[in-house]
Structure 1
Amino acid sequence: MQLILALDANALSSPIPMSLWGLKDLLTLMLSFNSFNGSLPLQVGQMVALTQLNLSGNHFFGNIPSTLGQVKDLSTLSLWNNRFQGAIPESLGKLKGLEMLDLSSNNLSGNIPKSLEELESSVYFNVSFNPLEGEIPSGGRFIYFTAGSFTSNKALCRPPRLQVNPYSSDSHHHSRTTKSILLRFVLPPVAYVVLMVAFILLLIYQRRQRIIPNGGALPLANQRRISYLELMGVSGLFIKEHFRMDKVFGLNFFCHISYALQIMQCNSYLAEYGLDGVVSTKIDVYSFGIMLMETFTRRKPTDDLFDGGISFTSWVEASLPWFNDEHRG
């Protein structure tokens, strides 16, 4: 029966209880991505059965206990992104079965111990983003490690094949804080703003759909525009052959603008066509005729002249006695 304690990615804080380090039969201890703090006691060396220890992404500080070298079966030791300081213990070189050692993003100083060349099973090794200095070991598994394992340190001396960037306190700080800033402060507001904008645009779209039903208006690109010259050319068509007067229905007319229109009969007022709620081409023709009469007479149906019971069309009829006599004849 394997004993595993996994409490990763919770909001746990405070130092680790001392009683935890006395669990001698525990095989796996996973406490990463919490807010644990304090230092690791020497009693961690009592967990002799431990094979995996992951304390990454916490706030542990102080020195890495040298007693970790007593945990002979340890295959994974991950302490990255904490606040450990001081030197890397020489005793870690005794962990012959250690396959993964991650000490990156801490405040470790001094040299990389030569004893770590004895890590015969090591596959992953990372001490980047620390103020380490001195010569990088060149024996053992170190011949297989790449520059990424040592980048952003203070003053490491390395073989030519390892292009290690010098240590930068700014990049060190950036590495440790960027992830938490993005997850806690940047992504939630951005996601909220995007959702709100999408919701508002959807409301505007639905509101416009209700105000202007589909097919209620022709696209502007499909409507024929009439130029000023065409409109002025229409005036030549309003001669006696194109007019007739009717006492019942008023003025009737037809005109041609590039193509023939039907001869439409219009009542004296637009309201008479709109009383029953029916819209037809007659309304458009009548409106165009009123517009032409307003243009040529410089009068409007709403002028004070027509308050005495005289309609706009009757006034036009009276202004054309020659046309009226011909109509009666």
Structure 2
Amino acid sequence: MFDAFGSKIKGTIPSEIGNISSLQSINMDNNEFTGSIPSTIGKLTHLDRIYLEHNRLQGSIRAELCQMMMLGDLHLNENFLSCPTPCCLGEITSLRRVCLHLNNLMSTIPLSFWNLNDLLSLNLSSNSLSGDIPSQIQNLSVIIELDLSWNQLSGDILSSFSAAQSLVFLLEYLDMSHNDFSGTIPESLVKLGGLNYFNVSFNRLEEEIPTGGPFANFTAQSFSQNFALCGLARLDLPPFKTKSPSHSGSRNILKYILPPIVFAILMVAVVTFLLVRKRRSTEISSEISLFQQWYWRRVSYEEILEATDSFSSSNLLGTGSFGSVFKGTLLDGSKVAVKVFHLQFMDLTKSFDAECEVLASIRHRNLIKILSCCVNRDFRALVLEYMPNGSLEKWLHSENYFLDVVQRFKIIVDVAFALEYLHHDHAPDVVHCDLKPSNILLDEDMVAHVCDFSVSKIFGNGETMIQTNTLATIGYMAPEYGEKGIVSTSGDVYSFGIILLETFTGKKPTDDIFGEELNLKQWVSKSIEANSVMKVVDRNLIKKDPNFCLMEQCLLSILRVGLLCLSDLPHNFN
């Protein structure tokens, strides 16, 4: 895998990349690459994922991409790509997620696209695509997310979807707004039981809006600014037409009635439309803003229930104040961790939203990766990477678990890299606010991943600190956080210092030997001053690590770094 996500790299993508013949994944998104996609990329026939979004690439989408018959994810969105999309992309039957939105693509959508039977997500929004949607859309038998908004597409929407019966059970997200579609909304769409988001605003649709199935939950913003739609009063539209022999007469009357009604709601419609683009998660469901992350796998409540054996206690990995985490196995056999939020307590929806907001924007090898989310009226869950080796806390304080000096050092370095990314390399800054050993998970290679962002804070507009009423874990909170609720990146560094000392001493900050007169920091500091560092080092290291005798000076330096992180002056923390 070639991973250069968010590395601020400028310049062109070198043509020599085609020489890495065994490459399986390219993660070069969120950089400043310019120029065109090199044609040599077609040599990488083993690639299954391409992430080149959020760059400044120009030119066309290379037809050489069609040589990658194992390609599953193609993310080229938010660039300056133009010209027609190569038809041969529709021949890559392995494609699962295609994101080409926010480019300058022209012409029509290749007909071959509608033959990608296993496609899960297709986002072609915010381009200059034209033409109609053929009846072959029914071939997208497992499509979950389809966004064609902000283009110049046209044609009768009814004829496009009338034959698409295979979409009934899977489609969850459908946006066809800001186009030139005409005709009526197909009544067959009421059978889309899983449809959570639907938008056909700013088209030329007419006649009655269906009322059954998911349409009972959609708001006026889903249908605003059309030619002659009518529906329930809550949709701010004219009422259903009464059918009579003088159908054409009624049509003429509507021509006089609709203009003043449309004008009356125009300003409200425009404002609410802009707002709904910004906060879909609160208007429709907390998960909608997350659909921008098209590489996520959609997971239903039923699949989560089956994956965790109905949240069996045998699959319970841990329980915290905000929720419980269960081990699960999805239908495709992948192991996951499912974090279920305790909605019976107040404000936990905010915690869910906060964690989603952070996880949706971060991407680093030492941060837990979100795979999906599931939101129902009374259920919130995140589907996360499963970490088979559990938490750092387990390895430090449970019997029959042991980490040598090198392993402990590597874990601490991993956590430091995670904080460096959150505090300095991510824009805006993210403060974790609850860093502790139980929130540091270890994968199969003992690489550390920081998790649990339920109380984290995202800084903006040059903020360096904020105040909150949400408290973190006693013993790991910085003094100014516990006493005044002041949150800053320095608070995370303080928590890191406590974790570092705990990792090498084996003592929790809340250990019984500590009290008002002595804490973990003072205990270590006094030992270093007395030149007796061996008295505070974890006994298990001395007993079990054969190389420990060579590590004393190294440990002394490491513990001093931990003490520096616990400086009494907040401005010294960073």
TM-score (norm 1): 0.50
Computing the radius of gyration over CA atoms, which structure comes out larger, 1 or 2? 1
TM-score (norm 2): 0.30
